[in-house]
Chain A
Amino acid sequence: MKKLFAVLLAAAMLWGLAACGAPEKAEFSLFAMDTYMTLVAYGDEASDALTESARAINDLEQRLSRTREGSEIRAVNHSGRAAIDSETAALLTEALVFSAETDGAFDITVAPLVDLWAINSDSPHIPSQAEIDALLPLIGCDHVTVDGSAVTLDVGCAIDLGGIAKGYASDVVAEIFAEHGIKSGTVSLGGNVYVCGKRPDGKPWNVAVQDPQGDGYACMLSLTDTFAVTSGGYQRYFTAEDGTVYQHIIDPATGYPARSDLLSVTVVCPSGTRADAYSTALYVMGEEAAIRFWESQQAGDHAFEAVFVTADGRIACTPGLADQFVPQEDASYEVQLLNR
């Protein structure tokens, strides 16, 4: 009988011991770039990596913000020409490439329209067609010239990196994680997710895609070492007095908030910046054009995977995500696998 108790006791102690030997976990949350960010890292240098990441994010915000005093982007918008950091120049160049690729569906020069509508502000404004028409000629990436370490803007134009700043920040955090030998972690920068390696238990990370129509999840993706970004009009919008809902993503082609047949687009690819730009562009394009764009990018270096949540109640998933896709039983969507 004593032996049995000894065995039981030993077993109990073993379970306790099993909890030890785990890699150090660090967690950090901050408000930056107009959103709530949560960073989790496992590793010996986890807390160093997070501190450095937080500092880098704040630095980026200071440089890339359109409103912050002393920011490079503000200087460019203000004077039409300004010297910028080589890193910012590279990001701007990349943004212009995204604009060209997506035929202007993603466009950093949409800033004047964003200001006109002011949808994220306290006093949104429904402009007249004349007001919009007056601004439309100022939109387009041909108004921006990046020349080495200087940027030139045409008169009246303005740029806004809000569509890629968070994505770029997640790329920067990923680099910092790598420098600190972090093999496992998650970074959530308000709709921009980076999953580093696998979970500490060796399984892929479960990334839930928010249900645009409820507080649950539309689906779950099992991801390792990649970026996932969701864009949609369901979180930031305002309702006019006549009941019309204006969501915050402006279609650069029409000057109006995008009237998409998509509720949300989630792009999964190995670059946070690209995932951020593409998810916005695909949302603006609408389902048909978005799928065509996805097909056209399949062959090149910029291939990506995506999950589309459509307004008519479907979830369309690209075939590359088929094995990672976990449907949610309680979500009322019809799941559809796209053909390559």
Chain B
Amino acid sequence: MKSNSSTVKTRPTPWDALVFAAVAALAVLTALVFYGPKARTNAPLTCVVSVGGEVMDHVPLASFAGEHTYSHNGYTLTVRVSGGQVEVLHSDCPGQDCVHSGPISRAGQSLVCLPAQVVIHLESGTDGPDVIVG
């Protein structure tokens, strides 16, 4: 294949703005789908912790306060829940991304540790129980 750079457009055209607008619209759309209706509710948050694709904990955030450890793939994470926030306090994974991610506190947010395959997700408690009897 041979290209002649003289026919290649190197300066922005109005059509580029169309692509730009399409991507921006997609961003807003997905944001609305994921955060719009949920962000407007003040439902109690539920903390869902899945390890290796399996849900280990599905607990209202309010009653999940304290430190929790999860081990998988040879890595151990210490997760602290306090004051409506969740953060990975310590991890022996190589990247430390999960620790660096800092605390999360709103519905739809997640903390992810890829090496340990731990996903901590906050959702507005539409599915999880608000209170347990028994």
Task: Give A residues with C-beta under 8 Å from B.
Answer: 1, 4, 7-8, 11, 15, 18-19, 22-23, 27, 38, 40, 186, 188, 191-193, 195, 199-201, 203, 205-212, 217-218, 220, 228-230, 232, 235, 264, 266
**B125 adjacent to A206 (CB under 8 Å):** yes
Chain B residues contacting A207 (CB-CB under 8 Å) are 129-133
Q: Across the two chains, which residue of chain B brings its CB closest to A220?
A: B129
Which are the 9 A-B pairs with shortest beta-carbon distances?
Answer: A210-B134, A208-B129, A201-B41, A22-B42, A230-B134, A201-B43, A193-B133, A186-B131, A206-B129
Chain B residues contacting A18 (CB-CB under 8 Å) are 39-40
**A186 adjacent to B130 (CB under 8 Å):** yes
Task: Give B residues with C-beta under 8 Å from A.
Answer: 17, 20-21, 24, 27-28, 31, 35-36, 39-44, 62-63, 106, 124-134
Chain B residues contacting A208 (CB-CB under 8 Å) are 129, 131-134
Of A19, A201, A220, A266, most B-chain CB atoms within 10 Å:
A201
Give complex CA distance A23, B43 in Å.
11
Give complex CA distance A209, B129 in Å.
9
Chain B residues contacting A1 (CB-CB under 8 Å) are 17, 20
Q: Kindly list 4 other residue pairs between chains A and B, CB separation below 8 angstroms, not including A15-B39, A195-B130.
A: A15-B35, A22-B42, A206-B125, A232-B134
Give complex CA distance A193, B134 in Å.
9
Give complex CA distance A230, B35 in Å.
36
**A38 adjacent to B28 (CB under 8 Å):** no
Interface of A is mostly: strand
Chain A residues contacting B21 (CB-CB under 8 Å) are 4
Interface of B is mostly: mixed
Chain A residues contacting B126 (CB-CB under 8 Å) are 203
Instruction: Identify 20 residue pairs between A and B in the complex whose beta-carbon atoms are under 8 Å apart, listed by A's number.
Output: A11-B31, A15-B31, A15-B36, A15-B39, A40-B62, A186-B130, A199-B43, A199-B44, A201-B43, A206-B128, A207-B130, A208-B131, A208-B134, A210-B132, A210-B133, A211-B134, A212-B134, A220-B129, A235-B134, A266-B134
Give complex CA distance A27, B27 in Å.
37
**A38 adjacent to B134 (CB under 8 Å):** no
**B20 adjacent to A4 (CB under 8 Å):** yes
Give complex CA distance A200, B45 in Å.
12
**B28 adjacent to A228 (CB under 8 Å):** no
Give complex CA distance A86, B17 in Å.
79
Give complex CA distance A206, B124 in Å.
12
Q: Across the two chains, which residue of chain A brings its CB closest to B40?
A: A18
Q: Across the two chains, which residue of chain A brings its CB closest to B55?
A: A330
Of the residues B36, B42, B133, contact of A266 by C-beta under 8 Å = B133
**B133 adjacent to A188 (CB under 8 Å):** yes
Q: Across the two chains, which residue of chain A brings its CB closest to B23?
A: A4
Of A18, A38, A205, A212, most B-chain CB atoms within 10 Å:
A18
Chain B residues contacting A19 (CB-CB under 8 Å) are 39, 42, 106
Chain B residues contacting A266 (CB-CB under 8 Å) are 133-134
Question: How far does the Cβ of A75 sit from chain B's closest Cβ, in whole Å?
Answer: 33
Question: How far does the Cβ of A46 sit from chain B's closest Cβ, in whole Å?
Answer: 13
**A23 adjacent to B42 (CB under 8 Å):** yes
Question: How far does the Cβ of A265 sit from chain B's closest Cβ, in whole Å?
Answer: 10
Of the residues A27, A40, A230, A235, contact of B133 by C-beta under 8 Å = A230
Chain A residues contacting B44 (CB-CB under 8 Å) are 40, 199-200
